[in-house]
Amino acid sequence: MGACFVTCAFDGKLTKKELTEHYFATVDELRNAYGDNAYNGTFSTLSGFEVTDYVFTTKAAAGEYLADICTKGESAIAVKYTDTRKEYTKEPTFNGKKLKQWDGGAYFRVVDATDWSYTMRCLVSTVAPAVADQLTPEQKKTLATAYDTWRVKKKTADRVAENFDATLSGIARTKELITPETLEPLLRFGNQRHELRLDADAAAMTLRALDEQFTAELYTEQTIDLGSMWLVGGLCRE
């Protein structure tokens, strides 16, 4: 059988004794829900509970620590972390509305040359792409042009990549001898794909740089301290 890492957050004001009581009450609820299934992927599959004195600055850091030290089927482990939330003290609007006011509005995601997905913050998808109202006309034009350039280059690269994949799939399925003529379109589409992806990546990096520049002008954030929380983690049987 396998295992899955599970976490659950509890109020940081709980004492260690109170936390233990809350944890085992949760386990009882899970047992009522899953019965004697020893591989249900929840805390009820674990053998004990351990509360530590470790404190982390973020929930993510606490979770990473627990994921590293928890052992399959053994004790759940509790650590503390500082619960924070970022809030905008300054943010732009898009066609007169903040992003959260748009029904179905979403930020565009751009995959750059490092293959990481970058979330744009000065150009969003509403009914049609919209740039931040607070940008100057020149800035809006520059950002929109950079977006259009990236979008066209990406679509072109994607289309050639589809041709490459289809050709490769055809060669994989063929029962005929593989000849230089058979491989010619694969080489052609593969080399085109490489060059076009380089162009698209360069356009993505240009777009990202512009967005980061304008974001620094239009957004201001503050971190709100919400106090401490307990994070309990366990490597549960499933």
pLDDT given for residue 105 in this prediction: 47
Q: Are residues 82 and 162 in the same domain?
A: no
Q: Distance between terminal CA atoms of the chain?
A: 6
Q: Are residues 79 and 104 in the same domain?
A: no
209 and 105 in one domain? yes
Q: Which pLDDT score, from 0 to 100, does residue 114 have?
A: 58
Per DSSP, the three-state class of 92 is coil
Q: What is the pLDDT of residue 128?
A: 66
**Same domain as 205, residue 103:** yes
Distance between CA atoms of residues 136 and 238, nearest Å = 56
Same domain, 136 and 202: yes
Between CA 142 and CA 206 the distance in angstroms is 11
Q: Are residues 14 and 30 in the same domain?
A: yes
Per-residue pLDDT tens digits of the chain, which is 238 residues long = 699 999 999 999 999 999 999 999 999 999 999 987 889 999 999 999 999 999 999 999 999 999 999 999 999 999 999 999 888 899 999 888 887 765 544 456 666 555 567 888 898 875 567 889 999 999 999 999 999 999 899 999 999 999 999 999 999 999 999 999 999 999 999 999 999 999 999 998 999 899 999 999 999 989 999 999 999 999 999 9
In terms of domains, do 108 and 167 share one?
yes
Two tokens, residue 149: 């350039």
The answer to whether residues 27 and 138 belong to one domain is no
Structurally, the chain folds into a number of domains equal to: 2
Q: What is the model's pTM?
A: 0.65
What range defines the domain where residue 170 resides?
A: 92-218
DSSP summary character for residue 79 = E
Dihedral class, residue 95 (left if φ above 0, else alpha if ψ from -120 to 50, else beta) = left
State residue 109's pLDDT score: 67
Same domain flag for 99 and 194: yes
Residues 103 and 137 in one domain: yes
Quick one: 158 and 71 in the same domain? no
With b meaning 16 or more CB within 10 Å and e meaning fewer, what string describes 91-129?
A: bbebeeeebeebeebeebebebeeeeebebbbbbbbeeb
Q: Do 116 and 170 fall within a single domain?
A: yes
